[in-house]
Chains A and B, each alone.
Chain A
């Protein structure tokens, strides 16, 4: 930069000198913009991927195949259903009362004859959905002659089983045994000895878990000690301050000292407990190092051995020997040659999942027998909602949405087109039409929930329109979508050149004839495009519908416009609120279907626009 010192610099030199800095700023700004676009696109991708990855599995449902004996003793003890002369109504009532649950349970029990005890039986029964009984009822009501026969049926599995089969409960690692394994007995608490070091995986896993736990305890101890030291320091400070304090301050300080003491006591007790825990753990680890068996607990990953057609849940293990409980009786206590038995690791600890190890063992065995599989989930498309995720479907919501949308279309299209026609073509320019314009523009931006309040206060409470029905929903949605359609329709009317109107008026058509015969047909595609977009908006709307009672729990598919109903987005809202894991995938799947409809509608709008777009 010596030129500045010697000669006055020419402007162009200054410009050239600034270029590097300025192009740096240019590049940074450009990057910023690109990052913003990428973030936006990334959010779209994230949203869709998150929904699809959660939801695609809902289109399959786990079924369990069982030979079910439809015994007359359970279903039809009085022979009402089978009797040829029973009236249809009586038969229907008998079917509703009939016990279809016992046949299902018996069939499941037949698969695992060794299950006994109330708790275990209940755990076994929990594998099959309550919907299985409904399946049987449906079957029998179609053909009463089936009573007394044995049918091999695919029955709906419980949602926990479904989640497990879809890998959303716990991952399972399977490993074939390398050496021969010798069980000590076929049932009860047994030991299992392996010829090779087959169980090192168990010991490693348990040791790893214990070591991690020790580390955490060590950290806790350190933290507690630090707090204790701090408190001691504070106590010392207080007592030092107490020496030269007046009476009022002394009272306050004593108060504080008491609180510090209290807290120190608490922390000290906690520290003692933690140290005790830490020592016990250390002792266990030391014992394990010395060759003692390591015990498993419900907080760690579970291990099971599948051997001789049964299953053993591991309780303690060394590298080549374990003891455990038989959860499913072994066919024999013979030694199992290498490769015929397997070691299973359920990586999610039993405490953290809804299925117990025992239930997992049953499912695993059913799977080995080929009796459990995932099939296309027709229930999702034919059922209404349910408290049980595996039985919940979107049919009722879809029908509700359909009725609501059709009504909304019937209400809003004529009104919007009429209003647009009047405002664009006939309305004189005065304060009344100005008022309408301002209102339309503002209504387009009013929060949707406010329309819900309007619906509740006016339609339901004043006009007495029945609550929770497609009718009232359509009325509210009509008011909501009107601005959208009116604005689009006016734009479509504006796009029709004045020459068309002049031509029609020129041959003596009345203004209304001009509009209906010439302008409207030309503007129609644009109006329809706007209408479709408005309908898409209505299809996805939720908030105002909550206000007017569409949130009711609707199992039955609504039969008419004044039947209680729900709609797809509200159904999604309600499912999203349910705690069961099974509902997460159902909700996501319902969202996928909703989005699919929206995509179709928007696509239709785009195609319509392309097809009829006209340049004047």
Chain B
């Protein structure tokens, strides 16, 4: 079932891609133009994904509910990090990332927090101070 659904999804993406792709035109000097290559890619993708819908192969074992929730939580932490890096500044955001992922992976909360507390300033010192990569110590919420 999963393979069939994936086939449907890929088919839709490829169809949209081909639909948009065939309209690109260049004015002069380019014999083939920017539209042909996308069409060359899109059509076989549609054929192959359609064949996966009709003749699926392989089976997918999805994680159970508990592990699925852990994955969602990890995704939330990762996306949250991307959004909060600027507002919070590097060390604080990274502390949250390391401690959060650590706990989600089954580490003891206290140990995970110690790990974050040690590594987030250490990484900041390494990258900002030693390697000269500008990483804000405090984000724009604090300044």
* A, B: real partners: no
Query: Chain A: residues with CB nearer than 8 A to chain B?
Result: none
